[in-house]
A and B are shown apart, each in its own frame.
Chain A
Amino acid sequence: MNIMSTDRLITKIRMLRERIGPNLRDRVVSSIYQHAEKISRNVVQKNEFKQDLDICIDNIATSRIFGLPLMLLLLSGILWLTITGANYPSQLLAKLFFGIEDQLTVFFRFLNAPDWLHGLLVLGIYRTLAWVVSVMLPPMAIFFPLFTFCEDLGYLPRVAFNLDHFFKKAGAHGKQVLTMCMGFGCNAAGVIACRIIESPRERLIAILTNNFVPCNGRFPTLFAMAAIFIGTLVNNSHNLTASLFVTGVIILGIMITLLVSWILSKSLLKGIPSSFTLELPPYRLPKIGSLLVRSVIDRTIFVLIRAVIVAIPAGAFTWIFANIHVGGITLIDLFASWLQDFGRLIGLDGYIIVAFILGLPANEIVLPILIMSYLSQGAMLELDSITALRDLLLSNGWTWLTALNMSLFSLLHFPCATTLLTIHKETQSTKWSLLAALIPTGVAIIVCFLITQVAHFFKLV
């Protein structure tokens, strides 16, 4: 065959392709699958009751009609349980810790300790720690066992199955959903999980967008915002509204993931999605004992310890930052005033932006840093309840719009340092690691800016 006939053949192929249309691959795959199904029906005899039950459940859990609503119901149910359940122990822990703080202050006075030492250790480190533990521990202790239950049950691959269609449309890989599920726990873990995606193009898309699912470091911020501002918008069904709000934020995160994936697959990472076979494992009822041990020790405590380790230096750092005066104002006020105009533009303020920047090591400490920098302005509040936190935020000019933007910025902004380092390790590329920080930050700024401007335009605030 010479070059001429090669060209002729290509023309012919092009013509034939037009005739059969674009979905050849799907047709081929579905023919093969149907054939395989027919043959196996002919030769295989199963006498297994359990497997039939699995199929019954899957007919509903992965059906076109019920699959998605069931998923959303499950998600908001889990969030409702988390918020409702965490409320009371959170308050209790806060009361306990701030009671201890008072005792510590008395103790320091008794020792005649210098003010800076008391400030650094008690108002800086201890207070940040107390916030991290009392805000994070209860929701995590409820959320993680519930999440682990779904995981052990075998539900996560079904989620991937239900969402596969959307991800394919976005030019991404269906397994990306599984990496996102891991991201709920920790984005760094989610990025590592992207190894299950074989195609480098789709793996990069999954890595770059993993940050759009809120990790456990950001859940407490979302829960707090929901509980403080959004939930109180509706008087009677406080927790329900709050959990629906968090569900909405997560859905928005998924939609942004799809959108960014789509844009990436049309621009920087062009290509067609590869098809894949996903094994739906049999449903297995988890063993509750080992589930609790695993989710509490491996996840909750692990995450908490990480947060505590970061919170200690961050608390000290923030306190110093808030107590060094330059030309009559503190460093934190100085930075905040520089960022104030920009913060206002996207519905936040300078302090919130500073908190997000200082919170780069771990998202868990963004809210504690923010609270500390507000407190350092001289407002002497006893922060022993959610109401006190609400009053503090209100006195700093917060509205529901600020809370909404805080939630969205938290959801969408740059990943934490651990995740960025992991991305660098996985991609071996400074360019992609930089983009992994820049893309989310850009999205966060655009979304918050639009929402703020729309709210101001319609005079909603």
Chain B
Amino acid sequence: MGLTRKSTGIYTFLEEFHTDSSGYQAIIALAGNPNTGKSTVFNGLTGLNQHTGNWPGKTVTLAKGFYQHKGKQIALVDLPGTYSLLAQSVEEQVARDFICFGEPDAVVVVTDATCLERNLNLTLQIMEITSQVVMCLNLMDEAKRKNIHIDHEKLAKLLGIPIVPTAARSKEGLSALKDAIDQTVSGGKRLRPKTVCYDQELETTLAELTSDFSSTFSSRINSRWLALRLLDSDFTMVKQILRYINKTGNNLPSSSEEGLDL
């Protein structure tokens, strides 16, 4: 009953994605908890009749679409809905692998305004991997009805990322979201996400490990996050991570045989 990496289909997906003939200027990954209206945002941004390819894995589907904004062609990838990137479900692996190795130019985290706290867990984990994060604070209409008020400006300050309140069902805020994505991609503003601080002992350990290898290789994977994974994973995985970094540097994993379980 083993689920191999192949069965998730992500590598074939990535290969096809990067050799896709239609030119685009940026890839945006759409992440988020299940049932936060991610697909509604996806459809709202791309328009229903856009070229969308479903990628069926065993339980996983990655949908791909495009949209035009300010003369740029933007590719959008709808990742499977997950609560975190830490556990070992296929969905979480696919989402995490795409954020790490799919080289998205930005990750849009779609969050549910009616239960922000739970959604923040995923957001914080994504912020550890990449600094190019935009939060789409969705379901604002529902939050309003439930009498929940969110100070999104303060939230943006606390997290250090741009936040766009939306109500994707009625297409509210989607053009603002496109603007925010554009700004992040074009690097108009250098983002400095405020990630989680761990306890003293863990932080010193992480610092020690990152100082050790950050000089050795310049991967675009966040070295602090990598250090954390190296400490957390079992050793066959550690070897795989290191082999991957040795071999590819910045590129995509070359073959799907090379299981890459972080």
A residues at B contact (CB < 8 Å): 1-2, 5-6, 9-10, 12-14, 16-17, 19-20, 24-25, 27-29, 31-33, 35-37, 39-40, 42-48, 198-200, 203-204, 274-277, 279, 427-429, 432
Contact = CB atoms under 8 A, between A and B. Distances in A.
Nearest to A12: B212
Interface centre among A1, A16, A48 (most CB of B within 10 A): A16
A213 B40 CA distance: 41
Contacts of A19: 201, 205
The 10 closest A-B pairs by CB, nearest first: A198-B89, A277-B83, A36-B120, A40-B117, A45-B149, A274-B87, A274-B88, A43-B155, A47-B147, A43-B151
Contacts of B155: 39, 42-43
B245 A1 contact: yes
Given A12-B209, A39-B155, A45 B87 contact: no
B121 interface: yes
Given A29-B86, A39-B159, 4 more contacts: A1-B216, A9-B213, A32-B196, A432-B1
Nearest to A276: B87
Contact of A20 (B87, B201, B212, B235): B201
Interface stretch (B71-79, B167-175, B226-234): B226-234
Given A36-B117, A43-B154, A16 B209 contact: yes
Contacts of B216: 1, 5
A27 B150 contact: no
A428 B1 contact: yes
A328 B182 CA distance: 91
Nearest to B147: A47
Contacts of B230: 9, 13
Given A29-B86, A44-B149, A274-B89, A16 B205 contact: yes
A121 B15 CA distance: 68
A198 B91 contact: yes
A39 B149 contact: no
Contact of A43 (B158, B239, B245): B158
Nearest to B116: A40
Contacts of B242: 1, 6, 9-10
Contacts of B88: 198-199, 274
A1 B246 contact: yes
B250 to A, nearest CB: 14
B202 interface: yes
Given A10-B238, A36-B120, A45 B148 contact: yes
Contact of A277 (B3, B118, B208): B118
12 contacts: A1-B246, A6-B243, A9-B213, A20-B205, A28-B228, A36-B120, A40-B117, A198-B88, A198-B91, A204-B1, A277-B83, A432-B1
B116 A275 contact: no
B148 A25 contact: no
Contacts of B117: 36-37, 39-40, 44
Contacts of B228: 28
Contacts of A12: 209, 212
Given A1-B217, A200-B2, A276-B83, A44 B198 contact: no
A43 B121 CA distance: 15
B226 to A, nearest CB: 11
Interface in B106-151: 116-118, 120-121, 123-125, 146-151
B146 A48 contact: yes
B90 interface: yes
A116 B28 CA distance: 77
B90 A275 contact: no
Given A39-B158, A44-B150, A9 B212 contact: yes
Nearest to B154: A43
- Interface range on chain B: under 10, 10 to 19, 20 to 34, or 35 or more? 35 or more
B84 interface: yes
Interface centre among A42, A43, A44 (most CB of B within 10 A): A43
A27 B232 contact: no
B199 interface: yes
Contacts of A31: 196-199
A272 to B, nearest CB: 8
Contacts of A428: 1
A20 B196 CA distance: 18
Contacts of B212: 9, 12
B192 interface: no
Given A13-B230, A45-B149, A48-B146, A28 B208 contact: no
Given A200-B2, A200-B3, A40 B120 contact: yes
B152 A43 contact: yes
A31 B239 CA distance: 27
Nearest to B217: A1
A20 B118 CA distance: 27
A175 to B, nearest CB: 11
Nearest to B153: A43
A165 B11 CA distance: 36
Nearest to A277: B83
Contacts of B197: 31, 35
Contacts of B196: 31-32, 35
A44 B116 contact: yes
Nearest to A25: B232
A29 B125 CA distance: 10
Given A9-B242, A20-B201, A46-B148, A275 B87 contact: yes
A171 to B, nearest CB: 13
A106 to B, nearest CB: 59
Nearest to A29: B86
A445 to B, nearest CB: 28
A42 B194 CA distance: 15
B209 A13 contact: yes
Given A9-B242, A429-B1, A32 B202 contact: no
Interface centre among B84, B90, B231, B239 (most CB of A within 10 A): B231
B85 to A, nearest CB: 10
A31 B228 CA distance: 13
A5 B243 CA distance: 11
